[in-house]
Amino acid sequence: MANAASGMAVDDDCKIRFLQLKAKRTYRFIVFKIEEKLKQVVVEKLGEPNLTYEDFAASLPANECRYCIYDFDFVTEENCQKSKIFFIAWSPDTAKIRSKMLYASSKDRFKRELDGIQVELQATDPTEMGLDVIRGRAN
């Protein structure tokens, strides 16, 4: 238990969808949101495998926080096809302070539920999670 954790629960659907992304690669990305009234994290959007990074970036709201999982395909210097699963905490500067607090204090618990995250990012503006940043962290 993290110091000052919010105690937010995680909907089982989040775990199921994540496992599908990880094992069967049925999704390119998953966007999660916190339903404060339900006191849990739920799946908001699912991205088909043929969607691009741009589609993923466009699916994030500009003024609200979200958690997301993004499956990044890349080619290594040895010309080897690889992929890495990114966890991104999206917390734009323009979001309400309450929403920032909510997502930051629930993150640790939520992340623990998703087993198999390879890289983690936190972003407060689009440049912090740009394709170049993702590429840099994948290697």
Q: How far apart, in Å, are the Cα atoms of 17 and each of 46, 47, 76, 137?
A: 9, 11, 27, 24
Q: Which stretch binds other proteins (CB under 8 A): 12-20, 36-44, 53-61, 66-74?
A: 36-44
Is 88 one of the binding residues for other proteins (CB under 8 A)?
no
Nearer to other proteins, 108 or 115 (CB): 108
Q: Does 7 bind other proteins (CB under 8 A)?
A: yes
User: Residues 26, 69: contact at Cβ < 8 Å?
Assistant: no
Q: Minimum distance from CB of 52 to other proteins (Å)?
A: 25
> How many CA atoms lie within 13 Å of 7's alpha carbon, on the beta-carbon side?
2
Task: Give the interface with other proteins as residue ranges (CB under 8 A).
Answer: 1-9, 36-37, 39-40, 65, 89, 91-93, 95, 97-108, 111, 122, 124, 128
